[in-house]
Chain A
């Protein structure tokens, strides 16, 4: 098995796909960091060093909008939750908007977890099997005295290793680059977590502060889990679809559809069983409301796990049985 994995690793590296992903990160992160820098410079101008005044202003603005009939009920729910969280921060004298390399990394990956990271994962996952079929090299692979499931397993192991590497690289690159803008500190800054949402109310009984590094670790674990699930789905599509382009389009459509559905905060509750709307695991950590009633961290983890296991099952079943006709 080790020689097979070695083969796959060599191919993955020589295809230079991984370097492209690193390059994307290196190009994009400074853009976001610069935007963030502008935002904090603006509020600096407006509020000076008084972050309490800024948070208070945010609370007041949101409270005012609650009275308005023109604001949809859905939005009001979000705003109520936001107000409660901000109040909690004020009471505990913690600045939620404090900038720094570590805070930026946390915020960036929070936002990247549902679409950006999965897209990067697809970059390596979508063509891991289909490219062998597109180029015809699959014939060379499968005419060796090796069972097909072993060949597929070696590809899966390689994919999971690269997925882990991508998640780690995203953190490292993000931290290193944003540090240039905001400084490299902030590991011990307290971050609040443990908000439990009950409808429109926030249950703050479980809220506690954790050092930011610990928060980052928990966040990384969740992002890794999401990434693994997306990788396994991409892997299945890659086995089922012969063309790499088609396989990328299918996965991308699914991910974007998930993002749209999430934003619709849909009344269609059974959508919560779709994997795409369950990718926002980090939101549970930050205390943002779940897109659909009844979703919890445990629920989402389970749904993702079920999707991942099913796609593995399908991948192996199809790959070991199918006729290679082209």
Chain B
């Protein structure tokens, strides 16, 4: 399929297009206005805290939930109006990979293969190979570990050679090694031309994995862009440890440096850990650090440490959502 795209000269073909979708459940708007596009060959991250409307949005993408308003197109087909055409291009794992535990892995794959056109036994064997489940594929799924079920879930999603792979929280329940393997695997799929849509609340994961991200909170998309673009917009923080603290702080303020009142809300707690109350978090350009240090030293303030914080997605996210619950 990649070859085809190149012939047409559209390497960045839009696979998934979501236009102003909204969903009202009961009296509450769970999703208020979500718009984004995913192109062939890219890994798109969908970020948001629990309860932001991620899962509801994903369910709308695969026709499990009907949007109240808005339009979703996959490879040019409207998901609501032409589900048979649109869903033929999609492989998905919505939340946990729930398969039939009383069937074997192979029987599960056969079951799903019967539900789509043109999946041969050879293809099933091929995906089993791809996810390296060969040794246990004829065992009942109830005997599988969570990681193996996860891989079986990926296998069933790949059966129909989808152009779009949707994964909801794929790293849930995986150990660090499994997460790393998954990352390599997803990267490989994208290089082969597949569009991969990954939702997560784990920002560090997404930052390592994704080309572009959308940040969603309370049912709205707050930002869409490449990871670099989004981070470039981020604020530069500098963390100081000064002795005496009060004197140093006063000097910094006197020179017009902005102090952050409540650093827990904008910075990763890991950065502040171990500094206790001594840390002074400021917003300033990194090239001012040297100047400030010499000023402070001249005034008799001892500088115990200065730390420049490189902006991360996590920081950006905390700023945008103002410290709303995030792990």
Contacts of B88 in A (CB 8 A): 145
Q: Which of A3-11, A92-100, A104-112, A165-173 contacts B (4 or more CB under 8 A)?
A: A3-11
A322 smallest CB distance to B (angstroms): 9
Asked if B87 contacts A144 (CB within 8 A), the reply is yes
| Residue in B92, B100, B101, B114 whose CB lies within 8 Å of A143 | B92
- Please tell me if A14 contacts chain B, counting CB pairs below 8 Å: yes
Contacts of A143 in B (CB 8 A): 62-64, 87, 90, 92, 94
- Please tell me if A48 contacts chain B, counting CB pairs below 8 Å: no
| Residue in B84, B102, B107 whose CB lies within 8 Å of A15 | B102
Known A-B contacts A7-B111, A11-B103, A14-B103; A139 and B84 likewise in contact (beta carbons under 8 Å):
no
Given contacts A7-B114, A142-B62, A143-B63, 4 further A-B contacts (CB under 8 A): A4-B114, A136-B98, A139-B64, A323-B59
Contacts of B90 in A (CB 8 A): 143
Q: How far does the alpha carbon of A321 sit from the alpha carbon of B63 in the complex, in Å?
A: 11
Residues of A within 8 A of B (CB): 3-4, 6-7, 10-11, 14-16, 135-137, 139-147, 321, 323-325
Residues of B within 8 A of A (CB): 25, 59, 62-66, 83-88, 90, 92, 94-96, 98-103, 107, 111-112, 114-117, 156, 160
Asked if B87 contacts A145 (CB within 8 A), the reply is yes
Q: Considering residues A7, A139, A142, which has the most beta carbons from chain B within 10 angstroms of its beta carbon?
A: A139
A127 smallest CB distance to B (angstroms): 12
| Residue in A3, A136, A324, A325 whose CB lies within 8 Å of B115 | A3
A–B complex contacts, Cβ < 8 Å, 16 sampled: A4-B114, A135-B101, A136-B96, A137-B99, A137-B100, A139-B94, A141-B115, A142-B63, A144-B87, A144-B115, A145-B83, A146-B115, A323-B64, A324-B64, A325-B25, A325-B59
B58 smallest CB distance to A (angstroms): 10
Nearest A residue (CB) for B168:
A139
Q: How far does the alpha carbon of A143 sit from the alpha carbon of B60 in the complex, in Å?
A: 10
Asked if B84 contacts A10 (CB within 8 A), the reply is no
Q: How far does the alpha carbon of A144 sit from the alpha carbon of B146 in the complex, in Å?
A: 23
Contacts of B98 in A (CB 8 A): 135-137, 139-140
Known A-B contacts A139-B94, A140-B156; A14 and B66 likewise in contact (beta carbons under 8 Å):
no
Nearest A residue (CB) for B153:
A140
Contacts of B65 in A (CB 8 A): 323-325
Contacts of B62 in A (CB 8 A): 139, 142-143
Q: How far does the alpha carbon of A14 sit from the alpha carbon of B140 in the complex, in Å?
A: 11
B238 smallest CB distance to A (angstroms): 46
Q: How far does the alpha carbon of A325 sit from the alpha carbon of B66 in the complex, in Å?
A: 11
A323 smallest CB distance to B (angstroms): 4
* Across the A-B interface, the 9 shortest Cβ-Cβ residue pairs: A136-B98, A3-B114, A145-B88, A145-B87, A144-B115, A324-B64, A143-B62, A323-B65, A139-B94
Asked if B64 contacts A145 (CB within 8 A), the reply is no
Q: How far does the alpha carbon of A309 sit from the alpha carbon of B142 in the complex, in Å?
A: 38
B50 smallest CB distance to A (angstroms): 15
| Residue in A7, A11, A135, A142 whose CB lies within 8 Å of B64 | A142
